[in-house]
Amino acid sequence: MRLPLVLLATAALVAGPVPASASSSVDLDGSTIPDLQRQMDRGRLTAVALTKAYLNRIKAVDGKIRSVLVLNDRAVAEAAASDARRRAGRELGPLDGIPVLLKDNVDTRAMPTTAGSRALRSKPAADAHLVDRLYRGGAVVLGKVNLSEWANFRSTRSSSGWSGVGGQTANPFVLDRNPCGSSSGSGAAIAASLAQVAIGTETDGSIVCPSGANGIVGHKPTLGLVSRSGVVPISAEQDTAGPMTRHVVDSAITLAVIQGRDPSDAATGDIPANQPRDYAASLKPDALRGARIGVWRLSGADTAVDRVVSDAVRTLRARGATVVDVDLPFQNEIGQNEFAALVTEFKRDLQAYLAKRPGGPDTFDELIAFNRQDPVELSKFGQEIFEQAAVAPPTTDPTYVKQRTTATTLARRSIDETLATHRLDAIMAPTNSPAWKTDYAAGDAFVLGSSGPAAVSGYPNISVPAGFAGPLPIGVSFFAGRWSDAKVLALGAAFERAADARKAPRFIPTIG
């Protein structure tokens, strides 16, 4: 699946200034979308030059992390079309001319969509709704990035960042460490400055965990804000796509473009009429002043995480926020019911998706049989979740209905009641512990994570860089009630500005 790269400019191995044209340069790591748009408006940068700089960056760096699966052979032409629109004064908005990478479970008719599996060999018939929105906003789609196969829902002992199609993606901070979560390729690629924006997807943790572990920003939107049509599913009850970037403002801009109603996704019909259309406008530098933030410390699991959270609390207070320690209830009951419900929903939703993809497996039985015969698919770990899904009850089963109702209700109560009891604007928690060494025998070695309440409730969650354990990034997450995406983005941006914790990766081979 790795296509030859035809690259048209010279790029450095580090994400510092990269030549973008004969007369100017652009800092791929440090520039925000507004920075890039200002340069293009002033004639100091073109979308073609920016796209070529990113393509060269991929050639220079991606051999170290193996995040990019396939490039869009029309990317430079798309950038040229953006430049033509700009010359004619017909720009399509703040994402026009901005290079974007897509997780390879997002349908594209011009490129394969595999979900990391060698079983999905046909191209989708149409672009996903969010891809259409990106194109309507003028974005340049650079290509597709690796993911944990089937969004990390094939085996109970899987390794995040591995797929039969792309192999193992590495964490760019320390290359033998894991990039975490199913949007691992998106997280690693953005950390390594291979695009300005990547699209990730999350069922539980797969946007925020790779964002925390790779030292970037990741926003999991409210369920239904972004259409899931054309995205390979796990569960319609929890799945959502969202932006992953190096800067909160870039996530805010991207979310405004990809959100919107879609008749093919009933959840988008619930978007409130007053939902913001311009999230960047809400990013006020003093958003923390006067805010009440609950801190769910999850302390005692990792000393480095405890230190980073304490530092983050000091930052919040220094910027005028009131901090209240909280402990979210019902977590055991939520977790006990969530997984069983997801297995049943996976059977329903994935088989419905596969029925629309001719030329490949249509059922879990067929996928299981394919994997058993394939020389790569089961080479690292098994397919226990596939085997459970194959015999899972239908979504009319009373036990399933109780599991889903319990998980979702308690997740929403855990957030809503905590916010109300303490009169909070949002809750902050550590996103991740330091990345573990990739180990196929042991599988993923999660120590802690705070994604569950927002994921199961369908509420928004943003992870922002907060500190380090040695060279390994640690993030903190801000989450709040349904449709409060503008609020958590604003709080995340204010914290990002105050903490100034993000650093570019150095591609260290290993650490002791």
Residues that are catalytic: 103, 182, 206
CA nearest neighbour of 26 among 1, 56, 69? 56
Q: From CA 338, how far away is CA 336, in angstroms rounded?
A: 6
Q: From CA 186, how far away is CA 211, in angstroms rounded?
A: 9
Q: Backbone phi, then psi, for 65, in 5-degree steps? A: -115, -15
Strands 292-295 and 426-430: parallel
CB 439 within 8 A of CB 159: yes
Contacts of 225 (CB under 8 A, 6+ apart): 240, 255, 259, 268, 271, 275, 460, 483, 485
CB 34 within 8 A of CB 249: yes
CB 365 within 8 A of CB 351: no
Residue 261 burial (CB count, 10 A):
14
Strands (E) across 226-277 are located at: 240-245
Q: What is the 3-state secondary structure (H, E, C) of 146-200?
A: CCCHHHHCCCCCCCCCEECCCEECCCCCECCECCCCCCHHHHHHHHCCCCCEEEE
Count how many residues are written for the chain: 512
Residue 101 to residues 16, 58, 106, 189, 256, Cα–Cα distance (Å): 20, 11, 10, 8, 17
Contacts of 333 (CB under 8 A, 6+ apart): 406, 407, 410
Concatenate the DSSP letters of all residues of 94-161 into one string.
Answer: TTTT-EEEEETTB--SSS---TT-TT--SPPSS--HHHHHHHHTT-EEEEEE--SHHHH-S-TT--TT
CB 146 within 8 A of CB 105: no
CA nearest neighbour of 241 among 164, 343, 128, 123? 128
Contacts of 72 (CB under 8 A, 6+ apart): 78, 108, 110, 111, 141, 142, 143
Q: From CA 61, how far away is CA 383, in angstroms rounded?
A: 32
